[in-house]
C-alpha cells in the first residue's frame, strides 16, 4: 500500500516555525562563474516543499533604501515581492546557515518555483516548491522570470556554456503564487486533509486538464478499478495544482526593486484582467447530432464527472444529502429533485471558485448555444442552478425547490440572487446589502470588483449608513464612479481599475471620460447631464484622499505623491474644463424656465379634495384594514402635511414612527399661557408639534392639526394589519414587497393635484408651495421678528435667536407661525395689510372663504406685472427661498416693514456717492474680508471719523445696511461662480 503523502504546505509551516532547513540539501560551489548553489541529496517528488527564502522582512520602501546603500553583491540578495497590493522585501544578505538564498536561476529548465505561505499570524513567507521530479545530485533552480537578464544573453551567445555569475544584481520578475493560509495548531487529521481543503479555491484551475479524462462506461462490479483510477486522478490533480494553479498572482523580483507599475496593481486588478479568461460552457451539438460532453462537478470530491448520479451513488452514498435522496424510490420525483440539488450545489461551488480566481469555465444549468460572458448568468437562490439572468424570473416561478413565502417580484430576483456571488469579505454587511440591492449589470460587476470604489462606499456608509435615505446616495456615488471607469476603459485600454485613473498621467483620460459620460457637446460647450459632471469632481477628490491615506499607512511615497498631484490637477484645471461649462448649462436652464407659483384657487381645491379623501379612507381603513386602504390614507396624510406645513417633501416623507411616539408633549407654563391671546391658546390646544431632521442636519418642526394627527395614529395602529414590514421605521412606509423605504411625497402630491381638478396641477409641488409662502408674506404687515419666526419654521438659513424673543421656540411656532399656515389654507388676500396679531382665521373651517381678488393677486405675484417696483420686491422675496445661496436667506431678518408691505409708501432713496462708497469700503475692510456685518457701535465710530457721511444725512443704520448689502452681493457672486469667471 502506498504511504500517505505529507501535506507540503503543512511541512513548510513546520520548518518556518522551527527556523531550520531540511537536511536533504547541501550548499556547494557549482562553478567559478555561478558560485554557490543548492544540491538535492535525495530524490524529491513534484509539489514537495524544498526551502524557505529566509531573511529580514521589511517594507518595500525600506528595501529600496537598502538597495541604494548595498554593494552589488549584497543587493543581489534583496527579494522584493508584492502581496495583497503592497510592496515588501526579504533581505537575505546576511550570512546565515539558511540555504534558500543560494538557489540559482534557470529559465530554460527550472525545477522549482517560489510560493507565498502565510503562517498562523497571517505573515507571508517565501518558500520554494518542486515543480518536477528532482533526482539526487541535481541542483535546485527556478526561473527569475526576466528575459532581459544580461547573463541570459551571455549564455545564449556562448551556447549555454557559461553559467550565471552569483553576484549579478539585475535579476528580474517572477511570479509567486498559491498563497496558503494555515495554522500550526492543526492536528494530524487536518494535515491529511489539507490538500483537499486547498482545492476548494482551485477547482476552476484544473477542470480543463481533467476534461481530457472521461469516465467511461463501467459496470457496478468494477469498483476497484474505478477507485484506482480516482487515486491516480488525485495525484495528477495535485501535480496540476502545484504547477499551474495560481490563486493570487503576486509579483516578485530578486535583486532589484519592483517597477512602480507593479505596486499600483492590487487583487481587484488581477480579477479585472482575468475576466476574459472566464469562459461559459457552450453546447457541442452538431446538426442532427447531439454530443454528450457536459460534466458536473462533485460536491464532495470536487472533480468533474459525466455520470454524476452514478458517482454519487457509488462513492458518496454515506453523505447525508445523498443518503436522503437515495432513500426514496428509484425514479421518483423527490429522489430526482434531491439529487438535482446536490448536483447543482457542486456546480455552484465550482462556479464561485471560477469567479473568485478569474479563471476557468462556468457550468450553466443549460449549455449556451452561442459564446456568452459570465456576467450574463446568475445562480438561483433556491436550487443554486446557474441561469441566464434575464430568464431567471421565469425559472423562479416554477422552481420546485422554492419556498412560497420567499417569492419575489420580477425586478427583485436578480438583486437577491446576485448576493450569492463571491464578494469582498472585508466590507461590512450593511454595504453588502446596499450592493445587493443594485440592478445586476456590468456597472454592478465593476462596483463589486474594484476595491477603491468599495472603500469609498464603506466610508460613506460608516458616516451616514444608519440613515435610510443616504443609502441611495451611497449606491449612486458608487455606480457613478463605476460608469466612469467603464467609459475610461473604452478610451484607454491600459485602465483596469479606478486606482489606475487616479494618476496625473491619466488626468486627460479622466476629463475625456467625464465629458463622454455626461454628453458634452464640443461645438456649444454644453453638457447633457451637467449635475453629474459636477458631482464626479467631489467623488474623484474623495477617492484620491483614500489613496493618500493608504499611502501614508504603508509609507508608499510614490502612491502618496501621485494622489496629491492628481488632486492638485483637479484644483487647477477642473473648473476650466468641466465646472464652468456645467454651471453655465445649469443656470441657463433656470433662466429659460418660468417661475410660476400655484394659484390660490388650485390650493383650495386640493385642500378640499384631500379632506374628502381623508374621511373616506379613514372609514375604509377602520372597517376593512388592507394594504390598499392603508396606502391610500398614508398618501393623503402625507400630502396634507406637506401642504399645511409647506415643508420639503423629503423631510415629511422620512418622518419615523419613533420620532412621533417620542415627541415632546408640551405643557405650556401658566405665565406664558397668559401672555397669549385667546385665539393663540386655541391653536396650542389643537396642534401637535414634532421635530424632525431637516436639510443639512437642521432641526425643523412639523405641526399636525387635530384631523391629521388622528390619521397618523390610525396608520401606526394598523401597520401590522396592512402588512408593513416591522423593520421599516417610517410612518409613511412603502407597503409593497416588504420594502424598507418610504413613500415619495412628491409623487403623492402630484397624484392628488391632478385628481382634484386644479387648473395648473404642475405648479403644485413642495418647492413651489414654499416659494408661495415667501411671496405672499409680503401682503401681510409682518414685523421683523415675525418674519424671522416664519423663516425659522420654514428651515431657512437665517439667525434663529434674537434679542427680543420672549417666548419659547415651541410656543412661537405653534401660536404665531400657525396663524399664517391657517390663513394660507383659507385665503390670504383678505388679511392684506394686517399684522400677525390681527390675523384670526377660522380653524374649524378647512375651506374658509376668500374673495375673488386673491386669485388676481396671486396671478399678479406669479407673473410679470406692470408695476416695476412691486415686481422688484417680488423677485427679492422669491430669491429669499429659492435656495440659490444661503446668504440670500439672511436678508429676511434685516428687511424693514416698508420694504415688505405694499400698503405703506416708500421712502425716497438717496444714492451713495463714489466718495462715500470708498470711505466705507476702506473703513470696513476687515468686515468685508470676514463677511460680517458691523454693529451699531462700529457704525457710529465710522460716522464720527468720516464727517462726509454725516453731512450727507447718513445714520448708523444706513451705514450698516450698505455694508450688509455689499456682503450679500459678494456672497451671491461667489455662489454663482461663473459670474466671477465670465463677467
Among 69, 164, 27, 53, CA closest to 107: 164
656 and 785, same domain (yes or no): yes
Task: Find the mean pLDDT for residues 558-575.
Answer: 92
Task: Find the mean pLDDT for residues 314-328.
Answer: 89
256 and 296, same domain (yes or no): no
159 and 36, same domain (yes or no): yes
Q: Is 468 exposed, middle or buried (0-12, 13-18, 19+ CB in 10 A)?
A: middle
920 and 865, same domain (yes or no): no
32 and 170, same domain (yes or no): yes
344 and 246, same domain (yes or no): no
106-120, 221-235, 581-595: range with lowest mean pLDDT: 221-235
405 and 290, same domain (yes or no): yes
Is the pLDDT assigned to residue 785 strictly greater than 80?
Answer: no
CA 543 to chain centre: 12
Distance CA 26, CA 140 (A): 10
Is the pLDDT assigned to residue 310 strictly greater than 50?
Answer: yes
Q: Could you tell me the three cell numbers for 116? A: 507565498
CA 819 to chain centre: 44
Q: Is 905 domain-assigned?
A: no
Show which of 840, 867, 900 is a domain's final residue: 900
Q: Is 178 domain-assigned?
A: yes
pLDDT of 4: 55
pLDDT of 540: 94
408-412, 488-492, 843-847, 859-863: range with lowest mean pLDDT: 859-863
- Pairing status of strand 699-705 against strand 687-693: antiparallel
Task: Find the mean pLDDT for residues 712-737.
Answer: 86
Q: Is 1 domain-assigned?
A: no
pLDDT of 514: 93
Q: Which domain holds residue 115?
A: 8-214+235-265
| Helices vs. strands in the chain: H and E counts, helices first | 46, 22
Task: Collect all residues with Cβ–Cβ distance below 8 Å to 519 and sequence separation of at least 6.
Answer: 527, 528, 529
The CA radius of gyration of the chain, in Å to the nearest whole number, is 38
Q: Is 906 domain-assigned?
A: no
174-188, 252-266, 461-475, 479-493: range with lowest mean pLDDT: 174-188
Distance CA 940, CA 943 (A): 5
245-259, 411-425, 831-845, 890-904: range with lowest mean pLDDT: 890-904
For residues 197 and 124, the model is more confident at 124
pLDDT of 517: 92
Task: Collect all residues with Cβ–Cβ distance below 8 Å to 74 and sequence separation of at least 6.
Answer: 93
The pTM score is: 0.47
859 and 730, same domain (yes or no): yes
pLDDT of 906: 53
Is the pLDDT assigned to residue 73 strictly greater than 50?
Answer: yes
Segment holding 443, helix H or strand E: helix 442-449
Show which of 422, 452, 480 is a domain's final residue: 422
CB 93 within 8 A of CB 204: no
Q: Is 456 domain-assigned?
A: yes
Give one word for 288, left, alpha or beta, with left for phi > 0 and alpha for psi -120 to 50. left
- Pairing status of strand 104-105 against strand 141-142: parallel
pLDDT band at 428 (very low <50, low <70, confident <90, very high): confident
Query: Which residue is it, cell 494622489?
Result: 563
| Interval 338-370: pLDDT, tens | 999 899 999 998 888 887 776 788 889 888 787
pLDDT of 256: 57
User: Which own/partner contact pairs does 790-794 have at CB distance under 8 Å and 24+ positions apart?
Assistant: 790/817, 790/820, 791/880, 791/889, 791/892, 791/893, 793/700, 793/701, 793/817, 794/646, 794/770, 794/881
Q: Is 908 domain-assigned?
A: no
Q: Could you tell me the three cell numbers for 596? A: 410660476
Q: Is 750 domain-assigned?
A: yes
Query: What CATH number does the domain containing 180 carry?
Result: 2.170.270.10
514 and 627, same domain (yes or no): no
pLDDT band at 234 (very low <50, low <70, confident <90, very high): very low
| Interval 676-721: pLDDT, tens | 777 777 777 778 888 888 777 777 888 888 888 899 999 998 988 8
CA–CA–CA angle 951, 956, 960 (5° rounding): 120
27-31, 139-143, 187-191: range with lowest mean pLDDT: 187-191
User: What value does the mean pLDDT of the chain take?
Assistant: 73
Is the pLDDT assigned to residue 978 strictly greater than 60?
Answer: no
Task: Collect all residues with Cβ–Cβ distance below 8 Å to 883 and sequence separation of at least 6.
Answer: none
Show which of 848, 874, 900 is a domain's final residue: 900
pLDDT band at 792 (very low <50, low <70, confident <90, very high): low
- Pairing status of strand 278-280 against strand 104-105: unpaired
| Interval 937-954: pLDDT, tens | 889 888 888 888 888 888
150 and 93, same domain (yes or no): yes
Task: Collect all residues with Cβ–Cβ distance below 8 Å to 298 and sequence separation of at least 6.
Answer: 304, 305, 308, 311, 312, 315, 316, 346
Is the pLDDT assigned to residue 225 strictly greater than 60?
Answer: no
26 and 161, same domain (yes or no): yes
884 and 919, same domain (yes or no): no
Q: Is 320 domain-assigned?
A: yes
How many domains are there within the chain? 5
Q: Could you tell me the three cell numbers for 46? A: 513534484
For residues 772 and 199, the model is more confident at 772
Q: How large a percentage of the chain has pLDDT more than 90?
A: 12
Is the pLDDT assigned to residue 876 strictly greater than 50?
Answer: no
Among 178, 164, 170, CA closest to 206: 178
Query: Which residue is it, cell 463622454?
Result: 516
| Interval 245-286: pLDDT, tens | 333 334 565 655 554 333 333 444 444 444 446 788 888 887
| Interval 170-189: pLDDT, tens | 333 333 444 444 333 343 44
Q: How large a percentage of the chain has pLDDT more than 70?
A: 68
Amino acid at each position: 500500500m502506498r504511504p500517505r503523502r505529507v501535506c507540503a504546505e503543512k511541512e513548510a509551516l513546520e520548518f518556518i516555525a522551527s527556523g531550520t532547513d531540511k537536511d536533504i540539501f547541501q550548499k556547494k560551489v557549482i562553478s567559478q562563474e555561478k558560485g554557490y548553489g543548492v544540491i538535492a541529496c535525495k530524490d524529491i517528488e513534484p509539489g514537495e516543499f524544498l526551502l524557505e527564502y529566509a531573511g529580514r522582512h521589511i517594507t518595500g520602501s525600506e528595501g529600496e533604501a537598502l538597495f541604494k546603500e548595498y554593494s552589488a553583491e549584497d543587493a543581489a540578495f534583496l527579494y522584493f515581492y508584492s502581496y495583497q497590493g503592497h510592496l515588501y522585501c526579504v533581505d537575505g544578505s546576511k550570512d546565515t546557515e539558511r540555504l534558500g538564498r543560494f538557489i540559482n536561476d534557470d529559465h530554460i529548465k527550472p525545477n522549482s518555483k517560489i510560493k507565498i505561505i502565510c503562517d498562523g499570524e497571517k505573515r507571508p513567507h517565501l518558500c520554494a516548491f518542486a515543480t518536477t521530479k528532482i533526482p539526487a545530485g541535481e541542483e535546485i533552480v527556478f526561473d527569475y522570470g526576466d528575459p532581459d537578464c544580461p547573463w541570459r544573453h551571455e549564455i545564449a551567445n556562448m551556447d549555454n556554456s557559461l553559467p550565471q555569475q552569483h553576484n549579478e544584481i539585475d535579476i528580474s520578475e517572477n511570479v509567486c503564487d498559491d498563497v496558503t493560509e494555515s495554522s500550526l495548531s492543526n492536528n494530524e487529521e487536518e494535515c491529511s486533509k489539507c490538500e483537499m481543503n486547498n482545492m476548494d479555491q482551485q477547482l476552476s484551475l484544473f477542470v480543463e486538464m481533467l476534461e481530457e479524462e472521461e469516465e467511461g462506461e463501467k459496470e457496478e462490479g468494477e469498483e476497484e478499478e474505478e477507485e484506482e483510477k480516482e487515486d491516480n486522478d488525485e495525484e495528477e490533480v495535485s501535480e496540476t495544482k502545484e504547477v499551474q494553479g495560481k490563486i493570487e498572482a503576486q509579483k516578485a523580483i530578486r535583486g532589484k526593486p519592483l517597477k512602480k507599475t507593479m505596486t499600483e496593481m492590487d487583487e481587484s486588478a488581477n480579477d479585472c484582467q482575468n475576466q476574459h479568461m472566464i469562459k461559459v460552457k457552450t453546447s457541442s451539438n452538431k446538426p442532427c447530432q447531439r454530443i454528450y460532453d457536459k460534466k458536473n462537478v462533485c460536491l464532495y470530491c470536487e472533480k468533474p464527472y459525466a455520470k454524476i448520479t452514478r458517482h454519487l451513488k457509488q462513492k458518496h452514498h454515506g453523505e447525508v444529502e445523498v443518503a436522503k435522496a437515495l432513500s426514496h424510490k428509484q425514479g421518483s420525483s423527490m429522489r430526482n429533485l434531491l439529487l438535482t440539488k446536490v448536483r447543482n450545489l457542486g456546480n455552484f461551488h465550482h462556479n464561485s471558485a471560477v469567479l473568485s480566481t478569474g479563471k476557468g469555465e462556468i457550468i450553466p444549468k443549460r449549455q449556451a448555444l452561442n459564446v456568452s460572458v459570465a456576467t450574463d448568468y446568475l445562480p438561483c437562490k433556491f436550487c443554486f442552478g446557474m441561469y441566464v439572468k434575464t430568464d431567471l424570473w421565469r425559472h423562479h416561478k416554477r422552481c420546485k425547490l422554492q419556498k412560497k413565502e420567499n417569492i419575489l417580484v420580477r425586478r427583485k430576483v436578480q438583486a437577491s440572487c446576485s448576493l450569492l456571488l463571491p464578494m469582498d469579505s472585508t466590507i461590512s454587511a450593511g454595504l453588502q446589502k446596499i450592493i445587493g440591492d443594485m440592478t445586476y449589470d456590468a456597472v454592478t460587476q465593476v462596483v463589486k470588483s474594484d476595491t477603491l470604489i468599495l472603500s469609498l462606499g464603506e466610508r460613506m456608509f460608516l458616516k451616514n449608513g444608519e440613515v435610510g435615505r443616504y443609502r441611495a446616495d451611497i449606491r449612486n456615488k458608487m455606480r457613478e464612479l463605476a460608469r466612469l471607469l467603464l467609459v475610461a476603459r473604452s478610451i484607454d485600454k491600459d485602465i483596469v481599475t479606478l486606482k489606475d485613473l487616479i494618476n496625473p498621467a491619466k488626468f486627460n483620460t479622466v476629463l475625456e471620460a467625464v465629458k463622454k459620460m455626461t454628453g458634452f457637446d464640443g461645438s456649444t460647450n454644453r453638457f447633457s447631464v451637467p449635475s453629474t459632471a459636477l458631482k464626479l469632481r467631489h467623488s474623484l477628490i474623495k477617492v484620491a484622499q483614500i489613496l493618500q491615506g493608504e499611502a501614508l499607512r504603508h509609507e508608499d511615497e510614490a502612491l502618496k505623491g501621485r494622489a496629491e498631484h492628481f488632486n492638485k490637477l483637479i484644483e487647477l484645471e477642473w473648473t476650466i474644463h468641466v465646472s464652468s461649462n456645467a454651471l453655465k448649462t445649469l443656470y441657463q436652464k433656470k433662466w429659460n424656465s418660468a417661475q410660476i407659483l400655484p394659484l390660490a384657487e388650485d390650493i383650495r381645491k386640493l385642500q378640499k379634495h384631500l379632506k374628502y379623501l381623508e374621511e373616506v379612507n379613514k372609514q375604509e381603513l377602520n372597517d376593512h384594514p388592507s394594504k390598499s386602504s392603508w396606502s391610500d390614507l398614508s398618501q393623503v396624510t402625507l400630502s396634507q402635511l406637506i401642504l399645511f406645513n409647506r415643508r420639503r417633501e423629503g423631510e415629511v416623507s422620512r418622518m419615523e414612527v419613533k420620532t412621533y411616539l417620542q415627541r415632546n408633549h408640551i405643557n405650556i407654563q401658566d405665565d406664558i399661557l397668559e401672555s397669549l391671546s385667546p385665539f393663540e391658546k386655541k391653536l396650542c390646544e389643537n396642534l401637535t408639534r414634532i421635530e424632525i431632521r431637516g436639510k443639512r442636519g437642521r432641526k425643523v418642526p412639523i405641526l399636525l392639526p387635530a384631523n391629521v394627527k388622528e390619521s397618523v395614529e390610525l396608520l401606526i395602529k394598523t401597520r401590522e394589519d396592512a402588512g408593513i414590514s416591522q423593520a421599516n421605521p417610517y410612518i409613511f412606509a412603502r407597503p409593497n414587497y416588504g420594502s424598507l423605504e418610504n413613500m415619495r411625497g412628491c409623487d403623492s402630491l402630484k397624484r392628488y393635484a391632478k385628481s382634484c381638478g386644479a387648473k395648473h396641477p404642475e405648479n403644485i409641488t413642495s418647492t413651489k408651495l414654499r416659494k408661495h409662502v415667501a411671496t405672499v408674506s409680503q401682503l401681510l404687515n409682518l414685523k421683523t421678528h415675525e418674519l424671522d419666526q416664519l423663516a425659522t419654521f420654514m428651515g431657512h438659513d437665517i439667525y434663529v435667536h434674537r434679542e427680543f424673543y420672549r417666548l419659547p421656540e415651541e410656543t412661537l411656532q405653534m401660536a404665531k407661525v400657525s396663524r399664517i399656515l391657517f390663513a394660507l389654507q383659507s385665503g390670504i388676500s383678505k388679511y392684506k395689510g394686517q399684522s400677525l396679531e390681527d390675523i384670526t382665521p377660522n380653524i374649524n373651517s378647512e375651506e374658509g372663504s376668500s374673495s375673488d381678488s386673491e386669485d388676481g393677486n396671486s396671478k399678479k405675484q406669479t407673473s410679470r406685472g406692470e408695476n416695476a417696483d412691486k415686481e422688484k420686491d417680488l423677485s427679492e422675496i422669491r430669491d429669499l427661498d429659492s435656495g440659490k445661496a444661503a446668504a440670500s436667506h439672511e436678508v429676511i431678518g434685516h428687511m424693514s416693514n416698508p420694504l415688505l408691505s405694499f400698503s405703506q409708501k416708500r421712502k425716497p432713496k438717496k444714492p451713495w456717492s463714489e466718495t462715500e462708497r470708498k470711505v466705507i469700503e476702506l473703513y470696513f475692510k476687515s468686515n468685508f474680508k470676514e463677511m460680517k456685518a458691523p454693529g451699531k457701535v462700529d457704525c457710529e465710530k465710522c460716522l464720527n471719523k468720516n464727517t462726509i457721511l454725516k453731512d450727507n444725512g447718513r445714520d448708523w443704520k444706513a451705514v450698516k445696511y450698505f455694508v450688509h448689502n455689499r456682503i450679500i452681493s459678494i456672497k451671491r457672486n461667489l455662489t454663482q461662480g461663473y459670474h466671477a469667471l465670465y463677467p
